[in-house]
Amino acid sequence: MGLPDEPVFLRSNAIIEPLVDRFYAAMHIVAPVQASMNLANVHVPLLESYLQNPQVHLAASNNPALRGGYFVNIEESRSNEVAELLDGIKRDRADMLAFAAAIADAESMLEQHARGFDLTPLYPRLPSPLNGLVELAYDTGSQPSMRYIEPLVYTSPVYDRGRQSVQLSLDDGVERPFILSTPRLPMPGVLDLPLQFDHPGLDALFAARTTATTFGRLREALELDDGQAAQLATLLSDAPSLSPDRHIENGGRIRYFGHACLVLQTPDVAIVTDPFISTDNRHGDRYTLDDLPDRIDYVLITHGHQDHIVLETLLALRGRMGAVVVPRSSRGSLCDPSIGLYLKAIGFNVIEVDDFDEVPFEGGRIAATPFLGEHADLDVRAKSTFIVQLAGASAFIGADSSGIDPVLYRYIRRRFGKVDMAFLGMECDGAPLTWGYQGLLTRPVTKKMSDSRRLSGSNAKQAADVMRELDADEAYIYAMGEESWQGHVMATTYNEDTFQLKQIDEFLGWCTDQGITAEHLFNRREWRW
């Protein structure tokens, strides 16, 4: 690196990995109620299991058949560091662990004593960590429940911002291993910073992708010592690597950036859906961060699963966003944390929408539409599909919504008219209930029960029903984790005999018979009009 005041830019392939207690940050391990449960019920037992037999975890982590399983992929020679991490969690996160234990105790108390009569006498019996943070209630069938007052939990000792840190490194093009179950220990060539996710230095760093700054300013903004500053220098370049066609001068354009990420543009507005974007620009077979417009007016988040609300991409884009549009939750449900509160707490400008709310912009509108299924039959309401109308065209952003009740899509068409393009996920044999929600379950479920409740989107028939009811002219199916830069989060493995791919082929055949343009997307695609 040159002089401290020479202009520099952040390299295109710079990666940020947001961490909580060194685990990769997904919403359910940051939002405080769910984070407490996952810390107590998933991460602590996982680390304890690893320390009992590291070799079992290593063997499982390297077994392709077990890809995506919850195993710790750390060499036994570093097990002492894992032990130190576990000891620190038990010592420093005592409030969170006590909160999780209190939830279990309170649920048991409700099961025993809430029998349809007045709940007032049960408040004094609540474990003290819950005092002031919950409300007890019955549904109309006299089934008791506990509602968490989430805004207050974010101000309580349960939301420990000291858990947060980041790792910065360069994408070397090698697919990262599954990351959700393995803590990220310090590594050579990786810049570890004890910064909270809303630290302004991170926005200063990522602004340097599009606007020149200086090494000295970045060092000061990130509060680096000499050793850290030397590592920062490896992330910087003397020139940007932005794509010259990242903006458009007329008409409309949609670009597919992989998985469920679309960039919808006119000369006046840019909208990004579920951003999960490659940082490796060497191949020419994909759009990367280099291809994003300098200003993003709206980011649409369809739901809270870790492949749709990807904090590592969101943090890299926060400084150039107008607002994040998110579906409103049911307020205080254990399985349904508020996406809005989560993002606001880490520095994002948020617009929350209910079904059929609209966000107008010059020349178009964004409309939130219902999202069915895909959450293992849990009462999760923070999920939304979207209709985006711009430059005279309309697109249905279907994410992983299921066509289990086709009549819903008839109502959507009646309200918003015919859809030109429909984008759908067809992960129709998704992971079982316990893969995504084990840490939140307060009552055990059998394997048979868990396997029957899956994180599944539409199969061929359901996707066809969606298309028929929307009267859409074109159908596009997301790649659903097949792209190479997503394995660390997705851990999907498909082959020609995979049920999901056969269902997609069946759906594409149906589209051909109906005269509908259809395609299974992969890596990149562009539409102009």
Q: Give the list of residues 6+ apart from residue 168 with CB closer than 8 angstroms, or none.
A: 14, 15, 16, 17, 190, 191, 193, 205, 231, 232, 235
pLDDT at 3: 61
Token readout for 285 is 């077979």
101-103-105 Cα angle (round to 5): 70
pLDDT at 496: 83
Q: Give the list of residues 6+ apart from residue 292 with CB closer than 8 angstroms, or none.
A: 246, 263, 270, 272, 277, 317, 320
| DSSP letter, residue 249 | S
In which element (H, E) is residue 272 found? Answer: strand 270-273
Q: Is 324 exposed, middle or buried (0-12, 13-18, 19+ CB in 10 A)?
A: buried
Q: Give the list of residues 6+ apart from residue 108 with CB closer than 8 angstroms, or none.
A: none
User: 153-170, pLDDT tens digit by residue?
Assistant: 999 999 999 999 999 999
pLDDT above 70 coverage of the chain, percent? 99
Q: Which residues of 92-121 are buried (b: 16+ CB within 10 A; e: fewer)?
A: ebebbbbbbebbeebbebbeeebeeeeeee
pLDDT at 491: 82
Q: Kindly list the domain boundaries of the chain, sorted by start residue.
A: 7-93+160-237, 94-153, 253-522
Strand order from edge to edge, sheet including 213-214: 213-214, 7-10, 236-237
User: 477-529, pLDDT tens digit by residue?
Assistant: 999 888 989 989 988 888 888 999 999 999 999 999 999 999 999 999 999 99
User: 420-432, pLDDT tens digit by residue?
Assistant: 999 999 999 999 9
Q: What are phi and psi of 68, to 5 degrees?
A: 90, 0
Dist. CA 375–CA 280, nearest whole Å:
31
pLDDT at 1: 52
- Candidates 141, 152, 187; CA nearest to 167 is 187
In which element (H, E) is residue 164 found? Answer: strand 164-170
Token readout for 336 is 């349904």
Q: What are phi and psi of 33, to 5 degrees?
A: -65, -50
pLDDT at 2: 56
Q: What is the dihedral angle through the alpha carbons of 463, 465, 471, 472, rounded to the nearest 10 degrees? A: 0
What is the overall mean pLDDT for the chain?
A: 96
Q: Give CATH for domain 253-522.
A: 3.60.15.10
Q: What residue ranges of the chain have pLDDT lower than 50?
A: none
- Candidates 256, 203, 194; CA nearest to 228 is 194
What number of helices (H) and strands (E) belong to the chain? 17, 23
pLDDT at 175: 85
How crowded is residue 495: how many other Cβ atoms within 10 Å of its Cβ? 6
Is there a contact between 464 and 513 (Cβ–Cβ < 8 Å)?
A: no
Is there a contact between 338 and 296 (Cβ–Cβ < 8 Å)?
A: no
CA distances from 477 to 270, 506, 508 (A): 22, 12, 9
Q: Give the list of residues 6+ apart from residue 420 with CB closer than 8 angstroms, or none.
A: 393, 394, 395, 472, 473, 474
